Structure 1
Amino acid sequence: MGQDTVQGTVRHMGPGTAPDMGSGMTRTRRLAAVGAIALALAWTGSGCTVIVSGPNTVSDEGGGDPLTKPFQRMIAIPPQKTWGPNETIRGLQAAMAVYADDPSILPQYLTPAARAKWTAEGPVTVLEDQYEVVPPPPREDAETSLKAVLKGRWVARINEDDAYKPTTGKWEKTYELVKTPQGGYLVNDLPPGLLLTNADVLRSYRPTDLYYLNRGTRSRLVVDRVRLRLKTSESFAQTVLERLLKPPTEALRGAVTTSLPPSTKIESIGSSEERVVINLSGLLDRSAEDALSAQIRHSLNMNEIAKGRVIEVQLDGEEFTTDRPDAVDEWLDDSGDTAYYVNKGAVHYLGKDGPAGVVAGAAGEQRGGYSDFAVSKEHNGGEALVAARTSTGISVAWLRHDGRWQEVIPGTDLTPPTWHRDGSLWTYDRKKAALLRYDPVRGPALERIQAPNLADLDVTRLRIARDGVRVVVTTGKNTVQIGALIGEGTATTLGNFQLLTTTEVGDEIVDIAWGDDEHLLVLEESKAGQILNEINVGDGETTGVPLKDRLKSVAAVDGRILAESEGGTKVWELDQDRQTWTAKIEPEAGQPIFPLG
């Protein structure tokens, strides 16, 4: 049997269903089943009892209910006495792919000693689909034991908290195989955890957005992306909500909270065409029913579950809260989408069709020496603050007629200013290795925030996301990290740092900007030219944005992207087709700005 043989078959499954070959199948599904069986018989005739996956698969659409997610289930088979090392290792990998659904197959590939030690607990290793099993060299004792090497390219790791972490590089593992008296081989030592291919993950896992609460006022949801495995024993809605009852991933640990206490249990989930009913038990807080409703609604709807239906949450069978799809939702408020730009040091409004006037006060007056402007969320019925960096520090001014520039953070080597949604202004003092916060509303005192992970790093940029929790930091010229603000008030700490992306040696990060809660725009100067990527900070999924001119800066909010080009100093906007840039202002305009981000 050839090296590329797959030890298993793939079947489309709906959660809570079993493979169905009975009279309820549609004609299309019957034909697919016949094709799959024919392939199985063909391969059996070649001496390998293997059902091969392919385009002819049994399909089950799961009834079309968005509470479920149809998926493909691979059926693995035990090791065969006619198999050599190659088939055995590939069969072992297939058994790992189905382990969550059928844990009985994998132990049959292991010797008693290996079976006693192995556990599925631990991170899941994800490899590219095309991997190689290198056969062992000839040995005198090959009749009893030998070693085979599995080589592949590393794609990602799925941590035990369900976080998906992309990675790259070569991966290989040596397996000791023991010959059995009946023929065939067993694996004598297997490290903890599962080894899956990328196809396995695409087939059995779904990217899923969970929603928790930011700390403080708790008036804002924070998204946490995970990879959840689809289960035959429950609906996808059940899977999502069960995971929502658990703590967030490590990236947000200590930075967010929840309205669902640890005692909460899901008793049942029912649905009709117009309503989804979720019955919970536990010590739910009546004062947090709006937050609870928002967490559940967004965790279901953002994953295309229950969309457009009324969501009723019950407590022990009695109505607790009901959420209607047409209700006003402020739980993902981004605090304004007014666009601004800068012309000769003066801040202007940018309308949909071009310039829309200068802002009020000193910030609207032309002046030199001011750069890296940032605008806060609106305060006091519509007023906002603008901050800018000068040679001696960071100054702020209200965008109103009596607004005047005032230096509030002194320093000659500060990162560009960034606003928090609570109205505070932040920067990093590179000389003093200090993260600084200034709150113009609550008091004039300058606070130093603990950020121990940044002490020995060359911090070049720091920007707070609009959710008020995540923070992006660039270090040096080519590394981007994502952290989170942990705790509240004077106990706030910046931590939980994880690498998001890094460029090749010699390349450079030109600018970064938050697009929304999940996505960061990264403008990179590479040897081949400029690259603009939109990266999901939860799982590293990256989408390239086509460029026309060379850019100096970017700004974004809710899918709208503005940029400043080098040539002619124009402000551009990316059309909704994500392919075309339209000139908004030319010339002598620059640095487009949205509030926060």
Structure 2
Amino acid sequence: MRTIRQLGTAVALAVAVACAGTGCTVIQVSGPYTMNEASGGDPLSKPFQRLIATPPQPDWSPEQTLRGLQAAMAAFADDPTVLPQYLTADALKSWTPSGAVTVLDDLMQFDPPEPGGDEPVQRVTLKGRQVASIEEDDTYVPQAGNWARPFDLVKAREGGYRVNKLPDGLILTRSDVDRAYRPTKLYYLNGSTQDRIVVDNVRLRLKPEETYAKVILERLLKDPSGVLRGAATTAFPAGTKVQSVTSAEDERVVVNLSGPLDLLDLSGEDALMAQIRYSLNNNDVAKGRGISVLLDGEPYTSYEPNTDDLRWLDNGGNNAYYVSKGAVHSMSKEGPGSAVAGPAGQQRQGYSHFAISKQGGFVAAMTSTGISVAPLTQEGQWQEVIQGTDLTPPSWHRDGSLWTFDQKNRVVLRYDHAGKRGPEVVSAPGLEKLDVTRLRIARDGVRVAVTTGKNLAQTVQIGALTVTGGLALGNVRPLMGTEAGDEILDIAWRDDEHLLVLVQSKAQQILNEIDVGDGEVVEIPLKDRLEALAALNERVLAAADAEKAGSKILELNQDQSWTPKIDSDVEIPLFPLG
């Protein structure tokens, strides 16, 4: 069975509340407002319902006033004139919409004021379950926990109530976000090699006066979100502006830019076009259509949809491998294949946790004294490149460097295999106090997944390789945690956005596919007990637990069933990088 759920952060950020007796009113917060359709007929946009909020009314109770205030918050981006009408002069002076947007479940509760009714100040508490926040950099961060906030209201001379003090920021419901925001994929350049694009998942608010295509490109001109800050860069020079995004008669998308780009200098036009076309195509705005980019109305560059150009999504090779009796083999479509060339293809004891470099040029493996590397050539030899007895399994970067975490000294190590230099210590301030057990670099060369914990609750953390101010592993944040006693058996990058996590709980094994952008979790059904994973886009391979299920390699099918590919004398599957 395939189940989907939303992953909360490791720490609940809200205060627990309870509703007891008759002093708590439950209402569906969805108004007062009216709707009208916006951007419904433009092929470069997405239709959505524009919310039109109602000003406070003289006969409204404190609860109805707060209900109207929340609706005015939901409409604030389209019409900022209604919300101030709910505030006293003092509240209006101190309040700002800036800051993270709080996203609550649709079902909210109001604790009404105590009976009496003539007090100058009426305190009403709004309660609900927080499901997410939308940060100022447009990052959608799932949350889990109860939320409560008191509001003080005073009677207005013209009748009704006004809010006397309002904490900064906006409060939206899940329905508000679903109606007015769209999950959006923005594409930037890998900061270190700049030979590949990197996806940045954000939530963008639709604008009635602009097409979704223009909203996307205007956001693309800004810095990436915090999770990629310092790790991704752009081909757009500072000062570039989007003048217009239109459809031509031949259905081509025409993007007109202005700014410091030079019609006589096309050195960065391939990367710039890659950012534009993937950001438009992968949000289903310009899919299958040609794109022309103009600079102040003059032709600058173009893209044809039949162009077979996938270099900006290069994954470093798609050949599958497996290990049998200590020797690395290539994997055929049917399953078993031949041993690779050189020493890595020879049966040998004492080598484990193999990793394949970009395009299958080198193999790394752990030994009792460190990490060794061998080229896949007949004349190659194993060479120890990182010494240590407390290292995590090796992980290749797309630039040819080899990475591990020294558990004894709690530092990240990088060996520059191309330059034969190192290992060097890489700054990783977010990992200094963590008990790191695995480190896996994604094929985009930017995102990094690490597992932590050995005896107590274990976690998966996500970071990024930043290059601003020197190479570092930064932007570390928790992705998921386990219950005490559960064990993370393996992790594998499936693609730039999804991480596979295999967990052994007290009762069963669980294989989850986690979207590292919004935390959505898809549980993949298991039949056999597994012990190792390898993945690349649509292909997922797993090694069965030899003691429980027999020595075999399984492949995941589209219907979520598993097919045996190799049924004896196998240890682990492998793909390059990841």
TM-score, L = length of structure 1: 0.88
The residue identity in structure 1 corresponding to 2:101 is: V
Q: Match for 1:574 among 553, 556, 559?
A: 556
Give a deviation string over 1:367-387, Cα, whole Å, max 9, x none: 222211110012xxxx51111
3-state SS in 2 of match to 1:331: helix
- Are 1:236 and 2:260 an aligned pair? no
In the other structure, the counterpart of 1:251 is 227
The whole-number CA distance in structure 1 between the counterparts of 2:82 and 2:484 is 46
Give a deviation string over 1:516-565, Cα, whole Å, max 9, x none: 11111112223442222222212222222222222212111122111112
In the other structure, the counterpart of 1:183 is 159
Specify whether residues 333 and 196 from structure 1 end up closer, same or farther in structure 2 by C-alpha distance, changes over 3 A only. same
- Are 1:525 and 2:549 an aligned pair? no
Q: Match for 2:86 among 99, 105, 109?
A: 109
In the other structure, the counterpart of 1:18 is none
The whole-number CA distance in structure 2 between the counterparts of 1:228 and 1:370 is 48
Specify whether residues 530 and 12 from structure 1 end up closer, same or farther in structure 2 by C-alpha distance, changes over 3 A only. farther
Q: Match for 2:245 among 269, 289, 305?
A: 269
Q: Match for 2:332 among 351, 357, 367?
A: 351
In the other structure, the counterpart of 2:146 is 170
In the other structure, the counterpart of 2:412 is 435
- Are 1:4 and 2:28 an aligned pair? yes
The whole-number CA distance in structure 1 between the counterparts of 2:429 and 2:110 is 44
The whole-number CA distance in structure 1 between the counterparts of 2:234 and 2:26 is 52
In the other structure, the counterpart of 2:266 is 286
The whole-number CA distance in structure 2 between the counterparts of 1:431 and 1:274 is 60
The whole-number CA distance in structure 2 between the counterparts of 1:439 and 1:521 is 27
In the other structure, the counterpart of 1:313 is 293
- Are 1:502 and 2:502 an aligned pair? no
In the other structure, the counterpart of 2:180 is 204
3-state SS in 1 of match to 2:172: strand
Answer yes or no: is the 8 Å Cα contact 1:76–1:95 preserved in 2: yes
Answer yes or no: is the 8 Å Cα contact 2:103–2:132 preserved in 1: yes
Give a deviation string over 1:404-441, Cα, whole Å, max 9, x none: 22211110000010000011111111112221111222
Structure 1 segment 87-98 matched on structure 2, within 5 A? 87-98=64-75
Give a deviation string over 1:481-511, Cα, whole Å, max 9, x none: 11111117x9311111122111233323221
Q: Match for 1:449 among 406, 426, 451?
A: 426
The residue identity in structure 2 corresponding to 1:7 is: G
Post-superposition offset of 1:5: 5.8
Post-superposition offset of 1:573: 0.8
The residue identity in structure 2 corresponding to 1:187 is: V
The whole-number CA distance in structure 2 between the counterparts of 1:314 and 1:375 is 42
The whole-number CA distance in structure 1 between the counterparts of 2:102 and 2:435 is 32
Specify whether residues 408 and 416 from structure 1 end up closer, same or farther in structure 2 by C-alpha distance, changes over 3 A only. same
The share of aligned pairs that are identical, in percent, is 59
Structure 1 segment 54-73 matched on structure 2, within 5 A? 62-63=40-41, 65-73=42-50
The residue identity in structure 2 corresponding to 1:582 is: T
The whole-number CA distance in structure 2 between the counterparts of 1:358 and 1:14 is 60
Answer yes or no: is the 8 Å Cα contact 1:519–1:537 preserved in 2: yes
The whole-number CA distance in structure 2 between the counterparts of 1:337 and 1:12 is 48
The whole-number CA distance in structure 1 between the counterparts of 2:71 and 2:509 is 41
The residue identity in structure 2 corresponding to 1:357 is: S
Structure 1 segment 23-42 matched on structure 2, within 5 A? none
Answer yes or no: is the 8 Å Cα contact 2:29–2:107 preserved in 1: no
Answer yes or no: is the 8 Å Cα contact 2:193–2:399 preserved in 1: no
Q: Which runs of 4+ in 1 moved over 6 A?
A: none
Specify whether residues 217 and 103 from structure 1 end up closer, same or farther in structure 2 by C-alpha distance, changes over 3 A only. same
3-state SS in 1 of match to 2:144: coil
- Are 1:340 and 2:321 an aligned pair? yes
In the other structure, the counterpart of 1:157 is 133
The whole-number CA distance in structure 2 between the counterparts of 1:130 and 1:530 is 34
Post-superposition offset of 1:10: 5.8
3-state SS in 1 of match to 2:179: helix
The whole-number CA distance in structure 1 between the counterparts of 2:28 and 2:409 is 58
The residue identity in structure 1 corresponding to 2:329 is: H
The whole-number CA distance in structure 1 between the counterparts of 2:314 and 2:383 is 29
Q: Match for 1:365 among 346, 349, 357?
A: 346
Q: Match for 1:74 among 48, 51, 65?
A: 51
Give a deviation string over 1:195-247, Cα, whole Å, max 9, x none: 01111111111111111111344211111111000110100000000000101
Structure 1 residue runs without a partner (length 5+): 16-61
In the other structure, the counterpart of 2:278 is 298
The whole-number CA distance in structure 2 between the counterparts of 1:195 and 1:537 is 24
The residue identity in structure 2 corresponding to 1:244 is: L
Specify whether residues 10 and 565 from structure 1 end up closer, same or farther in structure 2 by C-alpha distance, changes over 3 A only. farther
3-state SS in 2 of match to 1:357: coil
Post-superposition offset of 1:295: 0.6
Q: After the TM superposition, which of the residue ranges 217-226 and 315-324 deviates more from structure 2?
A: 217-226
Q: Match for 1:121 among 88, 98, 120?
A: 98
TM-score, L = length of structure 2: 0.91
In the other structure, the counterpart of 1:536 is 515
Aligned Cα root-mean-square deviation (Å): 1.8
Specify whether residues 487 and 2 from structure 1 end up closer, same or farther in structure 2 by C-alpha distance, changes over 3 A only. closer
Q: Match for 1:325 among 295, 302, 305?
A: 305
Give a deviation string over 1:352-400, Cα, whole Å, max 9, x none: 221122212211122222211110012xxxx511111111111111122
The residue identity in structure 1 corresponding to 2:446 is: V
The whole-number CA distance in structure 2 between the counterparts of 1:142 and 1:401 is 91
Structure 2 residue runs without a partner (length 5+): 1-24
The residue identity in structure 2 corresponding to 1:200 is: D
Q: Match for 1:406 among 349, 364, 383?
A: 383
Q: Match for 2:464 among 484, 492, 495?
A: 484
Answer yes or no: is the 8 Å Cα contact 2:242–2:256 preserved in 1: yes
Answer yes or no: is the 8 Å Cα contact 1:459–1:475 preserved in 2: yes
Specify whether residues 142 and 557 from structure 1 end up closer, same or farther in structure 2 by C-alpha distance, changes over 3 A only. farther
The whole-number CA distance in structure 1 between the counterparts of 2:532 and 2:111 is 49
The whole-number CA distance in structure 1 between the counterparts of 2:76 and 2:28 is 21
Q: After the TM superposition, which of the residue ranges 222-231 and 451-460 deviates more from structure 2?
A: 451-460
The whole-number CA distance in structure 2 between the counterparts of 1:275 and 1:582 is 44
Give a deviation string over 1:102-147, Cα, whole Å, max 9, x none: 11111111111111111111100111111211112235x6442211
